[in-house]
Amino acid sequence: MIIQHNIPATNAYRNLISNRSYLSKNLEKLSAGYRINRAADDAAGLAISEAMRSKINGLEQATANANDAIGLIQTEEGALTETHSMLQRMTTLATQAANGTYNSTARASIQKEMNELGDEIDRIANNTNYNGIKPLAADSNKDVGDENNSNKLNMTMQIGPTKGEVLDLKGQDMTLKGIFKSLDTISQEDIDCIGSGKILLKPGDASKNELVKLFTQQKTNNIEAGKSLENALKLAISRAGKKYNTYISVSTSGTVSLAGGGSIFSNPKILMALYDAYDALDGVQKCKGSNASIMSDGKEYIQITSSDTLFDDVESNANRVIQNIQSAIDHVSSYRAELGAKQNRLEHTINNLQVTSENTIAAESRIRDTDMAKEMAAYTKNNILSQAAQSMLAQANQTGQGVLSLLQ
């Protein structure tokens, strides 16, 4: 018999420590709810789980991004709903003004409402705001120096957890000037701007002959051309708050000149009026270049008559305004259709993101989460083994007591 080494006790102690270690891990997994609490638990499983968690976070944020994009689109849509309503009202007013039963006073009242509606279209476009973004404003949609007011506001929506999963949404100028932009049919390359302000069309297009008469032969004895220019000048000068006869006069022969003499192109107000005439009466783009600062604001397309003098043929001009407004309605409808298509796409995107996120979460859960029933069974087993080892250790420690009987 020996007392220096108690091998049964040592064996019982080793098993006790091992069982208590397993028991401790069981308790940790049960209390934390995770099967993997450190890399040592399952190194490969941890790496896979962390990659999945990263994807899940990206999917959830992409879902939020898509919902934010829908919010932006709905904000735009709400604004354009009112723009459409006002354009419809303008159509009614222009049709009303085209009727021969109205006198100049009635038509002037109609024009006042038209102008107010135009101001409200501009206000809505320039002030529709979503988180500091103004997608319908003129200034938000062009680069500095971009006289063509191209659609430069490009909002890139991150709708997925990886690079390249994006949706582009372009802003668009929905001010009065912007919605009539489709009426500008001649490009800058088709127009020369002379230093004096005189407008020349490049030769070769027979359909532009009347414009040539109107803007390059205004000194000829052409009463019709002179009267057409006179009407346009009345409009722009009246809108500028000036008296028509302060600036121009038209002779019976059709010659248009400044009151008191001088070139018709020498006065900025007259030049602006000419641009208005070139744009509104003929549906083409205005001359740009150094004179871009005095370009009109889109109201030339909704002018049935000026505030102080009637056009000679106001019924024809009212019908022209009806056509202009229909073009604007089509322009707004086209952009709203684009917004609607984007929103429908985003709704499908959100559904896909949510399903993908759900499935990825389920896969990550199978790797990382504790199976509570299985772990509880392991805990019960290890708890019993630990108690048994502890009891056996006590029994093994008693075996050396027999040596004492030999010493008596």
Does residue 278 register a pLDDT over 50? yes
Which of 196-200, 298-302, 382-386 is predicted most confidently?
A: 382-386
Q: Which residue has the tokens 């075996």?
A: 399
* C-alpha torsion sign, points 140, 145, 146, 147: positive
Query: What are the structure tokens assigned to 371, written together?
Result: 């199976």
Mean pLDDT of 326-339: 95
Quote the mean pLDDT of the chain. Answer: 77
Contacts with 142 (C-beta within 8 Å, 6 or more apart), sequence order: 148, 149, 150, 152, 173
Tell me the sheet residues that pair with 155.
Answer: 169
Is 262 contained in some domain? yes
- CA distances to 57, 64, 245, 387, 404 from 10, rounded to whole Å, are 51, 61, 120, 16, 21
Mean pLDDT of 362-376: 94
Q: What percent of the chain has pLDDT over 90?
A: 50
- CA-to-CA distance for 184 and 174, rounded, in angstroms? 15
Is 72 contained in some domain? no
- CA-to-CA distance for 78 and 83, rounded, in angstroms? 9
Q: What percent of the chain has pLDDT over 70?
A: 67
Residue 288: pLDDT band (50, 70, 90) is: very low
Q: Which amino acid is at 36?
A: I
- CA-to-CA distance for 382 and 392, rounded, in angstroms? 15
Query: What are the structure tokens assigned to 36, written together?
Result: 């993997």
95, 322 in Cβ contact below 8 A? yes
* C-alpha torsion sign, points 75, 81, 82, 84: positive
The predicted structure's pLDDT at residue 309 = 39
The predicted structure's pLDDT at residue 307 = 40
Higher pLDDT, 149 or 169: 169
Is 233 contained in some domain? yes
Residue 326: pLDDT band (50, 70, 90) is: very high
User: Model pTM?
Assistant: 0.68
The predicted structure's pLDDT at residue 48 = 96
- CA-to-CA distance for 296 and 269, rounded, in angstroms? 11
Query: What are the structure tokens assigned to 381, written together?
Result: 């087993």
Q: Which residue has the tokens 């509570």?
A: 372
Contacts with 106 (C-beta within 8 Å, 6 or more apart), sequence order: none
- CA-to-CA distance for 237 and 270, rounded, in angstroms? 8
Does residue 285 register a pLDDT over 90? no
The predicted structure's pLDDT at residue 175 = 93
Which of 19-23, 182-186, 289-293 is predicted most confidently?
A: 19-23
Tell me if residue 304 falls in helix, strand or coil: coil
- Going by C-alpha positions, the residue among 235, 324, 312, 242 that lies closest to residue 276 is 235
Is 175 contained in some domain? no
Q: How many CB atoms lie within 10 A of CB 143?
A: 9
Per-residue pLDDT tens over the stretch 35-92: 999 999 999 999 999 999 999 999 999 999 999 999 999 999 999 999 999 999 999 9
Contacts with 263 (C-beta within 8 Å, 6 or more apart), sequence order: 196
Query: What are the structure tokens assigned to 253, written together?
Result: 């022969």
Number of domains in the chain: 1
- Dihedral pair phi/psi, residue 180, rounded to 5°: -100, 10
- 124-128, 139-143, 231-235: least confidently modelled range: 139-143
The predicted structure's pLDDT at residue 222 = 38
- CA-to-CA distance for 31 and 24, rounded, in angstroms? 11
Full residue range of the structural domain in which residue 233 is found: 182-297
Does residue 347 register a pLDDT over 70? yes
Is 13 contained in some domain? no
Measure CA of the first residue to CA of the last residue in the chain; give whole Å: 16
Per-residue pLDDT tens over the stretch 209-256: 444 444 444 333 334 444 555 665 565 555 555 555 555 554 444 444
Is 121 contained in some domain? no
Per-residue pLDDT tens over the stretch 18-38: 999 999 999 999 999 999 999
Show the beta-strand stretches assigned E in 293-336. Answer: none
The predicted structure's pLDDT at residue 160 = 92
Is 329 contained in some domain? no
- Going by C-alpha positions, the residue among 332, 194, 164 that lies closest to residue 274 is 194
261: left (phi over 0), alpha (psi -120 to 50) or beta: left
The predicted structure's pLDDT at residue 298 = 79
